[in-house]
Amino acid sequence: MPVNLPLPDVATLFPIAGVRIGVTEAGVRKVGRKDLTVVLLDEGASVSGVFTSNRFCAAPVQLCREHLASGQSMRAMLINTGNANAGTGADGLARAQSTCVALAGKLGIAAQQVLPFSTGVIMEPLPIDRIEAGLDAAIADARLDNWLKAAEGIMTTDTQPKAYGAQITMGGKQISVSGISKGAGMIRPNMATMLGFIATDACVSQAVMHELSLALAEGSFNRVTVDGDTSTNDSLVVIASNKAGNPEITSLQSTDGQALKAAMLGVARQLAQAIVRDGEGATKFITVQVEGGRTAEECRKVAYAIAHSPLVKTAFYASDPNLGRILAAVGYAGIDDLDQTGIELYLDDVYVATRGGRNPGYREEDGQRVMKQSEITVRVGLGRGAATETVWTCDFSHEYVTINADYRS
């Protein structure tokens, strides 16, 4: 059961002119499930991507990087579930390449104009025959209003599709943003077993797309964690189809640039938080906010130490205000000169610890009350500077173990 995660509201999933999506059942790993998605882009779209920091990155990630660096314009994306095509060596690269060639042939474009994405089990050969056999059906299904179906088509252990949209007005023109994501385990900053696709019809110069995709990743997908495992396949792709007729955005610092970035970041953050809300076995959604650091980096270290601690996460699961575990995580986060007497800890509005010790006014029943909620904010003050960072995570339950002990069976 995801934590406070409503099903996508189709009324807010806006068609993006120039971006058509088709989904089919190719039987990649199991029959009878949507597992193959194509995204077809009209000529002239601006596209950029951010990919996993995992050095063991999957074959499709390697190809995406190559294709985006080629200087060619991107015209299609090909996404399969059921198989991650990671840990597959040279053969895996050849297989990913083969699927790009096959799709490019059917569309009359170059293979380098296709971005491939795979998610699922690692270290098994990609079944290219089944994928290539499914291409015609996926292409035939391509429509502007297929965002929800695409969100379903990229799910793996997700229990719900994840899709959000937004609209803004810019210079008299209506601008739409729609996005989908998937991911539920192997989720950690930089980025997650996570796929995210966010498209807008706004006119955006290719020159600012890299900065835009980085900003969206940093403000959303790079701030969520479920289990601390960074996947081999994480990919966030940002598309501007350049159809809306607004004056082209050539700087993110411009008024229009800031407005578009804010709208897209809102969608990206919802998509990223949805992954945590649907985290494997999650029963609670936890916001970890670290303030008073000297640098943003040390705030992130502390926030992730808390967000990754199995002891903290099981305490949340148990609704047990065993808050010393949070302080212990602060202590081992890796700030070598941290002075524990400067540490403050709040649980929502409850003031738990001060100067590194229990706040005299703290009462266990207040901590208990907050711990029972399904949404909890942990706020840590480091007392050594002005930097602040926020990450989002979930608790750690029996169900997590069950899901991951059974994933392949």
Q: Which residues fall in the annotated binding site for substrate?
A: 156, 182, 193, 280, 404, 409
Q: Which is nearer to a second copy, 58 or 138 (CB)?
A: 58
Candidate ranges 5-13, 146-154, 197-205, 347-355; the one touching a second copy (CB under 8 A)? 347-355
Residue showing tokens 């949805």: 274
Alpha helices for 108-220 (secondary structure H): 128-140, 147-153, 209-218
Instruction: Tell whether residue 404 is a contact of a second copy (CB under 8 A).
Output: yes
Residues in the chain: 409
Q: Does residue 34 touch a second copy according to CB under 8 A?
A: no
Q: Rule CB under 8 A: say whether 343 interacts with a second copy.
A: yes
Interactions with a second copy, residue window 161-200 (CB under 8 A): 185-186, 188, 190
Interface with a second copy, residue 405, by CB under 8 A: yes
Q: Does 94 bind a second copy (CB under 8 A)?
A: no
377 is a catalytic site residue: no
Nearest alpha carbon to residue 85 among 94, 74, 76, 77: 94
- CB distance 268 to 223 below 8 Å: no
327 binds a second copy (CB under 8 A): yes
Task: Please say which residue, 180 or 335, places its beta carbon nearer to a second copy.
Answer: 335
Task: Provide, rounded to whole angstroms, the least separation between the CB of residue 22 and a second copy.
Answer: 29
Tokens of 11: 């009324």
As annotated, the binding site includes 156, 182, 193, 280, 404, 409
Binding mask 35-54 for a second copy (x = CB under 8 A): ------------------xx
Q: Provide the minimum distance between the beta carbon of 32 and a second copy in the complex, in angstroms, as a whole number.
A: 23
Q: Which of 329, 350, 371, 380 binds a second copy (CB under 8 A)?
A: 329
Report which secondary-structure segment, H or E, holds 126.
Answer: none
Contacts (Cβ under 8 Å, ≥6 apart) of 307:
225, 228, 286, 288, 391, 392, 393
Look at residues 181, 165, 139 and name the one whose alpha carbon lies nearest to residue 36: 139
Burial zone of 253 (CB within 10 Å; 0-12 exposed, 13-18 middle, 19+ buried):
exposed
Q: Does residue 342 touch a second copy according to CB under 8 A?
A: no
Kindly write down the DSSP assignment for every residue of 244-311, as one continuous string: S-PPPB--TTSHHHHHHHHHHHHHHHHHHHHHHHT-TT---EEEEEEEEESSHHHHHHHHHHHHH-HH
Which residues, 102 to 121, sit near a second copy by CB under 8 A? 121
409 interacts with a second copy by CB under 8 A = yes
Query: Catalytic residue positions?
Result: 193
